[in-house]
Every structure is written in structure tokens, then in C-alpha cells.
Amino acid sequence: MHPYPGGTPTALHPAAAEILAAFDTWVEPAKAAEGLDHLHPDTVAEAAQVLHEAGALVAEGTAEADRDGQVAHRWQSWSPEASFFHYATQDIGTSDARLEDAVRPAGQTAAEGTAATAADGPSHVLFTEYPDADRVLLPRPPAELTLPYGQVLYARRTHRDFTDDPVPLPTLALLLSTVFGPVDYIDSGKGALFRRTSPAGGSRQELDAYLGILNVTGLAPGMYHYNVREHSVELLSPGMDRDETARLGADQDWFGNVAFFVVLAAVIDRMSSKYGSPRCYRVSLLNAGHLGQTFALTATALGLGPAQTGAFSDTPLADRLGLDNIGHTPLYVLAAGIPHPDPQLAAPQATLDTFRTRPATKPRPDPQA
């Protein structure tokens, strides 16, 4: 049991869970015991006190009860999943031992740290590769990212309309290498890690890039993995059409019209091998956002129309990629194509009438009323 939004995680006996369930409304322990006639009232009272001390029960009229009501009100449409994740991963500081790696002691050199841990080997596999897959070695075109930063930043928009023109393979290759390829390698004290053009927690690079190809020159439609070490795409399963793409994108029609999409899939062991705190799952989600923004800006600089979505069918997508959806699971989906010169799905620009027409508002209800 985790008594979010506060308290200490507690192992709960089935009998204690039964007692806890008797307090689903404001009720005195003696009254709650009437519905638990197989238990002695003193047992119920004692259990209620323990549950209260653990943070699982709050007393009516207290500050804790007021906060509990506010949490229930603010998070009601997302509960219990989102609120549990939010509060169960809160307030973990650097003093938490689960956040600490077996860090190099003060004064120890990188060579000494590496020698001390060499027998254990790397704490995780640095690269994901499919050695038996058919692969296409990608071209390494010269960098064409010469547009001024301000122009790229303000030109970036999420696109939903694309032409039928294919994306050139060199353009895709440059996009993949810029966003996902290694920039350099660093000594972690336990072995080499690599850095990308986006920040990543602990430089663990737990996010792999998988591609769904529909309309790219030189690549047959299908599902691929981007091998960042080799700069190649590895064919995992052939065939991909617009209907299947739309279904994988939670039945969003526009998603079926992209030229390609990229699935960011987390290799959980890469992050958890250093960080034992569940808070670090948040870091993986943030890392996906960093890569998504770099993807969108780079695609814009290359003349593509980028898009991104958190709406996708996790299990079918993992199955199509051959991921177990346990230790290797999809987190975020990016996409791109040649932007349509006359988009139909883009939102219109706001006018003066837009600002004159204000939606009706109503005061927030008092959660304690």
C-alpha cells in the first residue's frame, strides 16, 4: 500500500485492508467496527490508529483531510492511475540511496574506478542491435542544418497534412543521425557511455528508436530498428500500410498519412541499473520529450513536417516491433512527412473575434462543501 499523496509505503495484511475499506466515509472506529462483527472493536480501533500513523487514514476536520479532499477533486478525472504515479514518485532527494550509483569515491581517478569495477563489466548493454536482421546501411550526407536557429524555432509546428511525395533516404538518414546518433563518448567510471544532441538522465540513453516506414525512397515499407552504432536500419518485420499505421496511432486518421514514424522505446535496465528509485521513470518520460523536441526542430530544418503523439496502441505496437513490453516498452511516437502546402487540418489563426468570444466559466466548487 502507498498512501499517496503522503505517508510511508506499507506492507498491508489482508485483514488490515478489510479494516481500511470500512473507512470509505467519515466514520468513528466504533461505528466502523459494527460492520466488522467478526473482529473485536479494540482490534479495529488499534488498526485504525496504525493506519492513521502510516498516512492511510486521515481524521475529519484536519489539515490532512482538507488536502486529501483537494487532491481528490483536482485529480478526479485522472485517478487513480495518474495521481498515484505523481505522488508515489514525489519528494525523493539525492540523499535517497536508491538514487545513488556506486559512484567513484572522492579522489579516485577514472582509471582506478574502472579497474575496481572491471570484473563486473558494464552495468548495461550500451547499444541495441539485431545482428540477424536484414539491414540497410544509411548514407552519411554532409550536414545541411544551416538555417538560422531562430528561423527553425519559430517555424516549428506540428503537422497533420502531408503530400504523397516520398521522403528522400538521405534526409531520413541525416535526421536519424542528428537526433539519435552518438555525439561523443564519456568514461562513466564503469565503462563508456555516449551522449546525443539531447540531454539524457545519467547519459544512460535508455531510449531506442524504431521506425515504421511507409513512404521513404530506398526503403521498403515495414518496421525497422535504427542501429545508432552502425548507422543502419534493421528490418524487423516487412509490410506497413496506412490503415495499419492509423490503427497503431489510436485510430487517428492523420497518422496514417505520414511518410514514416519513430517509436521511442525504453530499455528499462539501462536506467534502473544506475537509478533504483521509481522517480527515474519520470526521467525516462522527460528524456523522450527532449528527443521529441530535437526531432521536431531537426525535421523542420530539413524541410519536413514533424508531428508527435502520445496517443498510440501500446500492446499492438510493441507486438509489431517484437518488444516484450516489460523491460523494453514504447513511450512516445514521433512522425514526419513532406508538409502539404495547403493544410486542411491546421487550426486557423486567432482573430479579434476569437478574443471577443470568451467561453463561459464557472467558479470551482469547494471540495469540502
Find out whether 320 and 357 touch, Cβ atoms under 8 Å. Answer: no
Band of pLDDT at residue 109, cut at 50, 70 and 90: very low
HSE-up (13 A, CA, CB side) for residue 345: 15
| Interacting residues of 287 by C-beta distance below 8 A, sequence separation 6+ | 198, 199, 200, 201, 206, 207
Q: Is the pLDDT of residue 349 over 50?
A: yes
Rounded to 5°, angle at Cα 319 from 316 and 322: 155
- Give φ, ψ of 101 to 5 degrees: -80, 170
Find out whether 124 and 270 touch, Cβ atoms under 8 Å. Answer: yes
Residue 250: left (phi > 0), alpha (psi -120 to 50), or beta? Answer: left
pLDDT, greater one: 358 or 266: 266
Find out whether 175 and 302 touch, Cβ atoms under 8 Å. Answer: yes
Give the C-alpha separation, 282 to 275, whole Å: 12
Range in 87-101, 187-201, 280-294 the model is least confident about = 87-101
What grid cell was written down for 240? Answer: 506497413
**pTM score over 0.85:** no
What grid cell was written down for 56? Answer: 492511510
Band of pLDDT at residue 231, cut at 50, 70 and 90: very high
Q: Please name the residue that has the C-alpha cell 561523443.
A: 184
Give the C-alpha separation, 325 to 9, whole Å: 26
Neighbours of 339 (CB within 10 A): 21
Bridge partners of 261? 212, 335
Report the DSSP pairing between strands 184-187 and 260-267. Answer: unpaired
Find out whether 137 and 234 touch, Cβ atoms under 8 Å. Answer: no
Band of pLDDT at residue 361, cut at 50, 70 and 90: low
pLDDT, greater one: 100 or 136: 136
Mean pLDDT within 15-21: 86
Q: Is the pLDDT of residue 99 over 60?
A: no
Find out whether 80 and 1 touch, Cβ atoms under 8 Å. Answer: no
